Amino acid sequence: MKTTETLVWILYDIVENKSRSKIAKLCKEAGLYRVQKSVFLGTVERNRLDELRLAIEDWSDDEVDSVYIFPMCEPDFKKVILLGQAFDKNLVTDEVRALFI
Kindly indicate the confidence band of residue 98, based on its pLDDT and cuts at 50, 70 and 90: low
What is the per-residue pLDDT for 3?
Answer: 81
Taken in order of first residue, the domains within the chain and their CATH numbers are: 5-99 (3.30.70.240)
- How do residues 52-87 score in pLDDT, each as one tens digit? 999 999 999 999 999 999 999 888 888 887 777 666
What's the CA gap between 97 and 86, in Å, rounded?
10
pLDDT of residue 80: 80
Residue 97 confidence (pLDDT) above 80: no
pLDDT digits (tens, 9 = 90+) for 2-16: 788 899 999 999 999
Can you tell me the distance from the alpha carbon of 55 to that of 24, in angstroms, rounded to the nearest whole number?
Answer: 11
